[in-house]
Amino acid sequence: MQPAPAEVATRPVEGVGVHGSDSAAEPTAEVGGPVAGAGEVAPRVAAGVSAGWPDEVDLDEGAILGSVGGRAIGVGALFFKLAMREPGLLRGLLDDVVLARILVLEAGALGLEPPAEAVQRRVNGRLKTAEEQARRAGAPNLDVFLRAGVGLEPETYLRVINEDAATDSLAPLCVRAWLLASDRREARAIVVEGQSAADVVMARLARGEAFDSVARELSIDASKEDGGRIPPLVRAESSMARMAFATEVGSWAGPVRERDTLMFLKVEAKPAILQGTWAEVGSAVEASLEERPVEDPEFWQWKEAMTRRYDVDIQPFLDLIR
């Protein structure tokens, strides 16, 4: 669900060339000497990662970024330029911030702390990537690279990646805890294109053929590989969710139109609802994740529910870039 650790965003600095992306130039000059492992950073990381929350990083320097001829440059001007050049980037970054805040709130409600070992693994992965960038840039150590190539103090960088690692580690736990606490249906689906294909599916199901066998043979959805099994469905306004909750366990229904396709659904189970604090449900959540990791449809259902639960409002951001 979460992407692999990204490389450190860098800026060209005199004396340090950066290979941070395909468009980055070759180093203009070497800083000199091999990079010294993790430089001075690694010991501070080991000391900084814990099972608790890292200190919040305050990167807000105010709404004014600078001035030219006495006229202020506001942060909205920068946002607007970025929004014009990379329309999806700025919104995606804001979504990441919103998601992190939601995870903090959900973890707090559950009484869940970031798992220390998982956080440490993620931090180590980010450091390894940053160290490789420093080597390619010819920096003597990671501290020099962060200050000169990235424009961050090492302590700030460590606190940021620690916070990111904490929220990333919480995501699957919070998502699955929410799912197990929700009224839901376990189901299989068959997705086809065109009425003639739907008629074939309906005829074969009506003859009593196994739903999973028909799914493997006729469905065009990726779930066909698992006999049409899809992530559990919670109550929602989608046609798939409405059909699932209107169908008895053991029965199938359909077809219903979903965009340009026709869909059949078989409801296989109505699992028991599991609610409580992390101390009460944590072992069941972890066992469930061992059996099957969080899949994208489950994550998107959770995100939609959390957006409603926490009354997410990004209108001020939209007003700012306008």
The model's pTM is 0.74
Top-confidence range, 4-13, 37-46, 76-85: 76-85
**What pLDDT is recorded for position 159?**
92
Residue 313: CA atoms inside 13 Å, Cβ hemisphere, count?
Answer: 4
Pull the structure tokens for residue 291: 């059996």
Tell me how far apart the alpha carbons of residues 34 and 18 are, in angstroms, rounded to a whole number: 15
pLDDT digits (tens, 9 = 90+) for 147-200: 988 888 999 999 999 999 999 999 999 999 999 999 999 999 999 999 999 999
Count CB atoms within 10 A of the CB of residue 278: 17
Domain layout of the chain by residue ranges: 72-181+295-322, 188-269
What's the CATH fold of domain 188-269? Chitinase A; domain 3 (3.10.50)
CA 121 from centre of chain: 17
**What is the separation, in whole angstroms, between the first and last Cα of the chain?**
32
Tens digits of residue pLDDT in 104-162: 999 999 999 999 999 999 999 999 999 999 999 999 999 999 998 888 899 999 999 99
Of 184, 205, 190, give the one whose Cα is nearest residue 269. 184
pLDDT of residue 178: 97
Confidence of residue 303 (pLDDT cuts 50, 70, 90): very high
